[in-house]
């Protein structure tokens, strides 16, 4: 049976030692968000994840969701778990106090998102989507609409979904055909079919609010003519939120999926359903991106969460499973064999998993910290810089952490060997669940195109400076006389990788001006190169903190482990940037030149 324990020591290290989370309490509106409050809240969230959500993960996967007489039922235990989740105030963790939320920093929500994803990703999709709808309506909705729906999303009594995809319109939302007709009540009648709608219908809440992309009569063609509407599952008859009859939206089927089987993925049919316009007419796509960007960050955390729980189980198995002898001689001669962890290749895999997980967590929380700076800092220049850094890093965080999440869950299965391939041990579920994270909320190839096609050239490369300039200054410190030799040895390979990133950026920029296919053909390699350098930057910062703690007399093995893992990352994983750089420099002709018939 699998196990999970929230990595509270690792979380505390990043929040306290690396990010100095006490700084958040200095931001307007976060005065109460001191470590004395935040860490008990995180510990309480950990108990919910470990004791309530995690025990339902395997059973929810085995049972899945079912559609009976037009109603969708979630797996046994999910409704009670949702009541515990909502009843504990977790739905409103980072929602505004005026809406009934706790008003805690976004960074704390990031921590909770990771733990929920480790414990039970399928369950976490339900409240996660509600959080996205909350953000979109709070930013773009009318005041009456916000008063009506935000408190109910914050307390978890209503849920939300995001309805973009149609049979003919996936990534290309300009192909959306769903129609919206204005009616005499100032609302709209929505007609069309949406597919792959996560949490599209369920038995967890009294109402579900669907954010739907649709076209008004006479709308401009393609994506310029899309508007955004909020369509309730049940009609709302007054401004107090009283629910009336069912709206004209129904579940036409649920998908039988490879993974996340406890999450209901639905076909939704809108047959003249009543909805409210959110934001301006024909401006639906920018409004929806408020939710999509938040969802992409959340999906990155899903990849991290699955990697963490898979690593915990693989490490425990490697310590317990006796197979073979250490090559230098028996380590435990009184046992019939040595544990797997003595073998070099097992250690290589475990260290790879540890390096990616801990580096990815630091990277994700660092971005969460900047989201709070963007939202709350009193200096508009600081807010602008933080927002531009977050915008740059969204595609990197989503694609990198989900790609690594799939890699790490596969390594966990490899460590288990044949036992990992057996369903009862739980590891294969993490592999299956992780695979969707590379696809939904914008496939990772789309994230790479967003990075090279939109984020790099935006404002003549200004977004890039928020990452590159601070890192260049940090690396320069280690080139000076008197730098700590141990840290300088870590900085040297990072400096080389950073140089490759800078060179590759210039290459892609110039080639893309001549032929956009050249930039697109290099996009995936470039994103991974960028991501590895970003992980390296965070590992160097963590190593510096750990070294300072050790020199100050700390005997906490966590700090020694940080230095050991930083050395492993720089020596064994960061060199991938050399191959990625060579692939980028090779150009896109080898991709684009072959005739279609040659495939």
3-state secondary structure 535-586: HHHHHHHHHHHHHHHHHCCCCCHHHHHHHHHHHHHHHHHCCHHHHHHHHHHC
What pLDDT is stored for residue 490 in this prediction? 96
Average pLDDT over residues 493-521: 96
What pLDDT is stored for residue 273 in this prediction? 98
- Indicate if the pLDDT at residue 482 is higher than 90: no
Task: For the chain, give the percent of residues with pLDDT over 90.
Answer: 94
**Alpha carbon distance 16, 362 (integer Å):** 12
Mean pLDDT, all residues of the chain: 96
Domains identified in the chain and CATH numbers: 8-143 (1.10.540.10), 159-284 (2.40.110.20), 452-599 (no CATH)
What digits encode the pLDDT tens for the residues 557-589?
Answer: 999 999 999 999 999 999 999 999 999 999 999
- Indicate if the pLDDT at residue 170 is higher than 90: no
Q: What share of the chain is helix, strand, coil (3-state, %, to 5)?
A: 65, 10, 25
- Indicate if the pLDDT at residue 297 is higher than 90: yes
**Annotated catalytic, 441?**
yes
What digits encode the pLDDT tens for the residues 530-564?
Answer: 999 999 999 999 999 999 999 999 999 999 999 99
**Alpha carbon distance 163, 284 (integer Å):** 12
Task: For the chain, give the percent of residues with pLDDT over 70.
Answer: 100
Q: pLDDT-derived band of residue 70, with 50, 70 and 90 as boundaries?
A: very high
Q: pLDDT-derived band of residue 174, with 50, 70 and 90 as boundaries?
A: confident
Structure tokens at 182: 């204005």
Q: pLDDT-derived band of residue 241, with 50, 70 and 90 as boundaries?
A: very high
pTM to 2 decimal places: 0.97
Other CB atoms within a 10 A radius of the CB of residue 195 amount to 20
What digits encode the pLDDT tens for the residues 18-43?
Answer: 999 999 999 999 999 999 999 999 99
- Indicate if the pLDDT at residue 483 is higher than 80: no
Average pLDDT over residues 119-147: 97
Q: pLDDT-derived band of residue 481, with 50, 70 and 90 as boundaries?
A: low
- Indicate if the pLDDT at residue 288 is higher than 90: no
What pLDDT is stored for residue 173 in this prediction? 86
CB 285 within 8 A of CB 215: no
- Could you tell me which of 563, 512, 527 has the C-alpha nearest to residue 542? 563
What digits encode the pLDDT tens for the residues 422-460?
Answer: 999 999 999 999 999 999 999 999 999 999 999 999 988
Cα–Cα distances in Å, from 307 out to 129, 134, 368, 490? Answer: 21, 28, 19, 25
What pLDDT is stored for residue 286 in this prediction? 86
- Could you tell me which of 552, 501, 550, 542 has the C-alpha nearest to residue 522? 501
What pLDDT is stored for residue 223 in this prediction? 85
Selected catalytic residue, list 106, 114, 166, 441: 441
- Indicate if the pLDDT at residue 134 is higher than 70: yes
Cβ burial, residue 92 (10 Å; 0-12/13-18/19+): buried
């Amino acid at each position: 049976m699998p196990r999970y324990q929230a990595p509270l020591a690792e979380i505390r290290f990043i929040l306290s030692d690396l990010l100095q989370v006490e700084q958040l309490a200095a931001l307007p509106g976060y005065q109460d968000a001191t470590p004395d409050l935040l860490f008990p809240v995180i510990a309480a969230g950990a108990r919910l994840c470990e004791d309530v959500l995690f025990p339902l993960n395997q059973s929810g996967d085995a049972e899945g969701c079912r559609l009976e007489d037009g109603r969708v039922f979630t797996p046994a235990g999910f409704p009670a778990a949702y009541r515990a989740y909502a009843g504990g105030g977790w739905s409103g963790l980072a929602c505004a106090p005026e809406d009934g939320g706790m008003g805690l920093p976004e960074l704390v929500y990031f921590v909770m998102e990771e733990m929920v994803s480790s414990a039970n990703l399928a369950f976490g999709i339900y409240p996660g989507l509600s959080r996205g709808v909350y953000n979109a309506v709070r930013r773009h909705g009318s005041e009456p609409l916000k008063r009506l729906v935000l408190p109910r999303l914050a307390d978890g009594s209503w849920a939300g979904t995001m309805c973009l995809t149609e049979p003919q319109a996936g990534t290309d939302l300009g192909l959306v055909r769903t129609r919206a007709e204005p009616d005499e009540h100032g609302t709209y009648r929505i007609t069309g079919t949406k597919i792959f709608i996560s949490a599209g219908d369920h038995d967890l809440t009294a109402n579900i609010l669907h954010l739907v992309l649709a076209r008004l009569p006479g709308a401009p063609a393609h994506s310029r003519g899309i508007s955004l509407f909020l369509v309730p599952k049940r009609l709302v008859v007054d401004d107090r939120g009283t629910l009336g009859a069912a709206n004209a939206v129904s579940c036409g089927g649920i998908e039988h999926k490879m993974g996340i089987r406890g999450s209901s993925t639905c076909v939704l049919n809108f047959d003249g359903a009543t909805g409210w316009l959110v934001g301006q007419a024909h401006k639906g796509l920018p409004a929806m991106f408020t939710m999509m960007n938040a969802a992409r960050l959340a999906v990155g955390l899903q990849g991290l969460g699955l990697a963490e729980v898979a690593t915990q189980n693989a490490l425990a198995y490697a310590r317990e499973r006796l197979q073979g002898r250490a090559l230098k001689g028996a380590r435990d001669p009184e046992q019939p064999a040595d544990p797997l962890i003595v073998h070099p290749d097992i250690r290589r895999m475990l260290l790879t998993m540890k390096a990616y997980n801990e580096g990815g967590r630091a990277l994700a929380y660092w971005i969460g910290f900047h989201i709070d700076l963007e939202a709350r800092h009193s200096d508009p220049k600081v807010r602008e810089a933080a927002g531009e850094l977050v915008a740059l890093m969204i595609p990197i965080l989503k694609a990198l952490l989900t790609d690594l999440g799939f890699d790490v869950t596969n390594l966990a299965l490899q460590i288990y060997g044949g036992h990992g391939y057996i369903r009862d041990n739980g590891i294969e579920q993490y592999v299956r669940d992780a695979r969707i994270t590379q696809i939904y909320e914008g496939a990772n190839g789309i994230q790479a195109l967003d990075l090279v096609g939109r984020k790099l050239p935006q404002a003549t490369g200004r977004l890039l400076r928020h990452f590159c300039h601070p890192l260049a200054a940090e690396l320069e410190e280690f080139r000076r006389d008197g730098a700590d030799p141990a840290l300088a040895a870590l900085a040297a390979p990072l400096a080389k990788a950073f140089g490759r990133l800078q060179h590759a950026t210039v290459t892609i920029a110039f080639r893309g001006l001549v032929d956009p296919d050249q930039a697109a053909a290099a996009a995936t390699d470039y994103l991974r190169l960028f991501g590895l350098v970003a992980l390296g930057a965070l590992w160097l910062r963590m190593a510096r903190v750990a070294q300072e703690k050790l020199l100050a007399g700390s005997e906490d093995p966590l700090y020694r482990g940080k230095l050991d893992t930083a050395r492993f990352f720089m020596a064994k994983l960061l060199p991938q940037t050399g191959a990625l750089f060579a692939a980028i420099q090779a150009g896109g002709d080898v991709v684009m030149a072959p005739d279609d018939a040659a495939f």
